[in-house]
Amino acid sequence: MIAPALSMLRMIWLVRREVRGQGAQLIHARSYIPASVAMIVSWLTLAPFIFDMRALWPEELITAARLRRGSLLHRAIVAAERACLRRAGAVVSLTHAAVDHLNRTYPAEMAGQRVAVIPTCADLDRFVPAVQRPPRQIIGCLGTVLSGWFRLDWLASFISVVAAGDPDVVFELTTRDDPADVRAALDPDGRLGERLRIAASASEDVQRVLQGQTASVMFYAGGQVSELGRSPTRMAEILGCGLPVVANDGVGDVARVIRDYRVGVLAQGPDPQAMSAAWSELLALLEDPDLASRCRKAAEEVFSLEAGTASYARLYHHLTDGDLSCAD
């Protein structure tokens, strides 16, 4: 406990020195420990600070079994969270769902607080729609599926249902996970053969992979409080390329974006009946000639770098000049 305490004191000293030495008008702190330091320095220097939460860190630690609810450490982190929410000049969250949770959990601290929702952004100059749709149905899945945060059983069920209903559909998983492990989990009998493609991609080529697909599947382990703060980067990239998503509820603002912009399908469960309904809904959605433009619009309005930068600029201006609204 001595070493972390000394590290905190050193951080406080360094930040205070920079704020005083540079004449900083504002401290922007990302995540909880930096925010706790910023809160103390703010008290010492009177410079306001932004509590840029990113996600619900205490709940993520509990979900990952790295923290026990009600333990001394958990109570200390929650106390710091409460204090930062109360004393921050503004709070930034990745999702509206997390803000709703904070309002329920800390009504007094959140009352009258300036809050901006700024999700994970994507470079939409790179992630753009393809000139023309692929000649056959290619259902993609982007990113790790073996991390423990992904509902692999849902993906296996979806693939099984779709493969049985349409022998021409191809499934393309773009992941750095071990291909043999992924194939064993999704196609243990080897029935899909070459219809199931599993390969990594260089980061600079991901947009080209997405542009060759019809839709993309993302089933996160939602339903826990920790997932309310999750903002999947892959969703921003997929929508930027004009593709709809097949997803599940209970993960950040994923369901909210899908419903508000009509850019995907929400599977209701892993059973074959639910996945069959999701597939039928997706096929109907793909017939909509305005789908790609709606996906792109959602990406631009919710996940673009320009939108995120503008939101931060309004916050900075409000806290330093006090004459622009920063509500998002």
The DSSP secondary structure of 116-156, one letter per residue, reads EE-PPPB-TTTS---SS--SS-EEEEES-SSSSSB-HHHHH
138/239 Cα distance (integer angstroms): 16
Reply yes or no on whether the pLDDT at 323 is more than 50.
no
Q: Read off the pLDDT of each residue in 15-40 and give the average, rounded to a whole number.
A: 95
Is position 95 within any domain?
yes
pLDDT in tens, 161-170: 999 999 999 9
Averaged pLDDT score across all residues of the chain: 93
Q: Domain check: are 145 and 265 in the same one?
A: yes
Domain that holds residue 187: 138-302
Q: Which amino acid is at 145?
A: V
Contact 251, 232 (CB under 8 A): yes
Quick check: is 59 in a domain?
yes
> Given a cut of 50, is residue 160 above it in pLDDT?
yes
**Bridge partners, residue 140, by sequence:** 172, 216
Q: Is the pLDDT of residue 54 over 90?
A: no
One domain for residues 232 and 315: no
Torsion angles phi and psi, residue 245, rounded to 5: -120, 150
Q: Report H helices in 23-71.
A: 32-45, 57-63
Q: Are residues 278 and 315 in the same domain?
A: no
Question: pLDDT band at residue 286, thresholds of 50, 70 and 90?
Answer: very high
Residue 117, token pair as written in the block: 């929702």
Q: Once rounded to an integer, what is the mean pLDDT over residues 76-85?
A: 96
Please check whether residues 293 and 252 belong to one and the same domain.
yes
Co-location of 94 and 233 in the same domain: no
Pair (7, 101) in one structural domain:
yes
pLDDT class of 64 with cuts at 50, 70, 90: confident
Considering the domain architecture, whether residues 280 and 311 belong to the same structural domain is answered as no
| Within-domain flag for 129 | no
Burial class (CB in 10 A: 0-12, 13-18, 19+), 317: middle
Q: Is the pLDDT of residue 172 over 60?
A: yes
125 Cβ contact list (under 8 Å, min separation 6): none
In terms of domains, do 280 and 163 share one?
Answer: yes
pLDDT value of position 325: 46
Q: Are residues 247 and 193 in the same domain?
A: yes
Instruction: Tell me if 325 is assigned to some domain.
Output: no
Query: What confidence category does residue 85 fall into, taking pLDDT thresholds of 50, 70 and 90?
Result: very high
Please name every residue paired with 50 in a beta bridge, in sequence order, or none if there are none.
Answer: 28, 90
At residue 326, the pLDDT reads 45
**Residue 132 covered by a domain:** no
Answer yes or no: is 83 within a domain.
yes
Q: Three-state SS for 257? A: helix
CA pair distance 254, 222, nearest whole angstrom: 10
pLDDT recorded at residue 14: 95
pLDDT at 112 over 70: yes
131 located within any domain: no
pLDDT for 6 equals 85
- pLDDT tens-digit series, residues 223-278: 789 999 999 999 999 999 999 999 999 999 999 999 999 999 999 999 999 999 99
Query: How many structural domains are present in the chain?
Result: 2
CATH number at residue 193: 3.40.50.2000
* 148 and 96 fall within a common domain: no
| Residue 79 burial (10 A CB sphere; 0-12, 13-18, 19+) | exposed
Note whether 221 and 279 are same-domain residues: yes
Distance in angstroms (rounded) separating the CA atoms of residues 246 and 53: 27
Find, among 288, 286, 290, the residue nearest to 298 by Cα: 290
pLDDT confidence of 221, banded at 50, 70, 90? confident
Q: Is residue 30 part of a domain?
A: yes
Residue 315 in tokens:
């916050």
Confidence (pTM) = 0.89
Q: How confident is the model at residue 222 (pLDDT cuts 50, 70, 90)?
A: confident
Q: Same structural domain for residues 109 and 21?
A: yes
Of the chain, the percentage scoring pLDDT greater than 90 comes to 89
